[in-house]
Chain A
Amino acid sequence: MEESQSVAIEFQKVVKKFGNFTAIHNANLKINDNEFFTLLGPSGCGKTTLLRMVAGFEDVTEGNILLFGQKFMHLPPNKRSVNTVFQQYALFPHMTVYENVAFGLRMKGWSKGNIDTTVREMLDLVRLTPFAERKPNQLSGGQQQRAALVRAIAPKPKVLLLDEPLSALDLKLRQAMRMELKQLQKETGITFVFVTHDQEEALAMSDRIAVMSEGVIQQIGKAQQIYEGPKNEIVAKFIGETNILDASVVGLNKEETKYRIAEDFIITGESVEGLTKNQNVKILLRPEKIRITPLNVNATALRGVIEESMYLGTDTEYQVKVSGGVILKIRDQNGFERRELISLGSHIGLSFSKDSIRILSS
């Protein structure tokens, strides 16, 4: 982490227990100021618990959380300058959109004039000005979402916490809201901590992502780092489609490493430090990194038989049986060259570059 960036939130050895169940195991995490940071993981992985501890709805069993270097765990939620966008929006049903957005400012004791200026500014920002006098139940899902968003932004929190705010919207709206959220983060300069189980959402919006599973932060990094270089099997499986192969190291030198997956199924990757001969490893090979080639091009190329195919529009997914009975998933893009689907049972050749092979730590 660069020294020049100030840290908005720092989790220090945070442990959270509910009775005998440990929801968070020793979480260490620094979220930078003005960052769009995503906590990504399947439901029940503890990501929402982390968020709720920052908001103040859950206490910390062990460890500490700092807000811009300051201790704040002793403060009740209404004394913390962080705001939350709730999954179900939680707009107050008996108040108008205007009153909802004004609520936090009123509670903070702002003057009437100040409140009015800010609320109008906020409603303008998300194009809700014509709906100011409506009750939440008279708004569409997307409008409710935007109202909940500016209600949380209006008091100018130091950090905005977003708890799966897009999960209730339909696909088209969700995609449009991604752009809007990203823009809003840039415009306001507020640190966003976004919780989601949707990997696509995480990859599309985040400056950095923390992948969580079973209460453990598995990996922290930029979208590309996480996708291209997942640290372990959990991360690899959670983000994107994968082929994970059990292999043993059969040859290694300065340029390359050879792995045996089955009797006559040996592949070559870049050299990796710390490997020893005969070591058992897990290899990650993303389906879109494998290319289907005609059989006769390269005699030494890997061969396989198409077992299944699934046409997905932008690409087609094939399941290919290669030697040793291993099944590989392959994503073939239906792109520039128009291509017929390859029929089941066809024999094909396969190729991939050395650098698309990744070793996963167990």
Chain B
Amino acid sequence: MTLANSVRSIPGFSILAVLCLVILYAPLLVVMVYSFNDSVSITIWGGFSLRWYEQIFFGLEAEKFQKAAWNSITIAFMAAIVSTTIAFSAAVGVVRTSPFKGKNLNISLLSLPIMVPEIVTAVATLIFFSMISFKLGYTSILVAHIVFCIPFAYLPISARIQSIEKVYEEAALDLYANRKEIFRSILLPLMLPGIISGFLLAFIISLDDFIITSFVKGAGVETLPTAIFGSIKQGIKPDIMALSTLLLLVSTLFVTISYFLSRADIKNKLN
């Protein structure tokens, strides 16, 4: 009997497993189901309806949400592109070079920000912006997002680059390829799954960031998370559930893409 099987034979295993899944997903399910609720109340079911979806697209707050969504998506997209580019350069520089003094320190320093409490980063970023008199607004959000997305993009990229064996490079060099060609035809295609993963991760992290954004956004500029929070302060309305459901959908989509990319990757390596 394998270890996994022996764990499975413990009495109550399946009940416990189902319970865990329910605790994990029940709140999300409630939000998703009640986003289709016809009733104004958020706790009483009043039949199926798409009115809250209509509301967020055409209702009173539609303009505010659309603007916030537009900000969120454009910031996430640009932050992901820039942070992925920086993370990629850093990963190439750190992983693909011969050992240098402080190489390990470098690797740790690059991933450390993930472990710093976000509130600390938020306060520090805000203080920094005010010290250099940087005007808070769309640009300050973008800059902050670019910076805190770098370590998230760095992780999958450096892991991928590390897994590329040096012998491919040697083989290409042996077959008359110059440095540029090796990078273009061999290294870049092999690194690509890591780069895409890094990009998607950075995009998602930026898209749903709340704490840092709320510190550095300044007045008048909202992203979806801060807009949702702003609305909720006046009481939870069903349209917020519809909005959250849409946001969940986008996140799920990205995570799924990332999952399949890394799975295809593992399959390649196993063979």
Per-residue contact bits, chain B 64-85, to A (CB 8 Å; 1 contact, 0 not): 0000000000000000000000
A76 in the interface, Cβ–Cβ < 8 Å?
Answer: yes
B61 in the interface, Cβ–Cβ < 8 Å?
Answer: no
Q: How many chain A residues have a CB neighbour from B under 8 Å?
A: 25
A227 in the interface, Cβ–Cβ < 8 Å?
Answer: no
Per-residue contact bits, chain A 81-104, to B (CB 8 Å; 1 contact, 0 not): 001101010111110000000011
Provide the bound-state CA to CA distance between A138 and B268, in Å: 10
Beyond the given A78-B175, A88-B165, A90-B171, please list 8 additional residue pairs across the A-B interface where CB-CB is below 8 A: A56-B174, A57-B170, A78-B176, A79-B176, A94-B190, A104-B175, A104-B176, A107-B172
A108 in the interface, Cβ–Cβ < 8 Å?
Answer: yes
Beta-carbon contact of B168 and A78 below 8 Å = no
Residues of chain B within 8 A (CB-CB) of A137 are 268, 271
Residues of chain A within 8 A (CB-CB) of B271 are 137-138
Beta-carbon contact of A78 and B177 below 8 Å = yes
Nearest CB on A from B60, distance (A): 52
Nearest CB on A from B170, distance (A): 6
- Point out residues on A near B: beta carbons under 8 Å: 55-57, 76-79, 83-84, 86, 88, 90-94, 103-104, 107-108, 137-138, 151-152, 155
Per-residue contact bits, chain B 161-184, to A (CB 8 Å; 1 contact, 0 not): 000010110111111111001000
Beta-carbon contact of B268 and A86 below 8 Å = no
Beta-carbon contact of B190 and A93 below 8 Å = yes
Nearest CB on A from B250, distance (A): 29
Provide the bound-state CA to CA distance between A79 and B174, in Å: 8
Residues of chain A within 8 A (CB-CB) of B230 are none
> Residue on A with the closest CB to B192?
A94
Residues of chain A within 8 A (CB-CB) of B175 are 78, 83, 103-104, 107, 151-152, 155
Provide the bound-state CA to CA distance between A104 and B186, in Å: 12
Provide the bound-state CA to CA distance between A137 and B268, in Å: 7
Provide the bound-state CA to CA distance between A221 and B15, in Å: 74
B189 in the interface, Cβ–Cβ < 8 Å?
Answer: yes
Provide the bound-state CA to CA distance between A83 and B173, in Å: 10
Nearest CB on B from A59, distance (A): 14
Provide the bound-state CA to CA distance between A151 and B172, in Å: 11
Given A90-B168, A94-B190, A107–B268 Cβ distance below 8 Å? no
Q: Which A-B residue pairs are the 8 nearest by beta carbons?
A: A137-B271, A104-B175, A107-B176, A90-B171, A90-B167, A77-B173, A107-B177, A94-B189
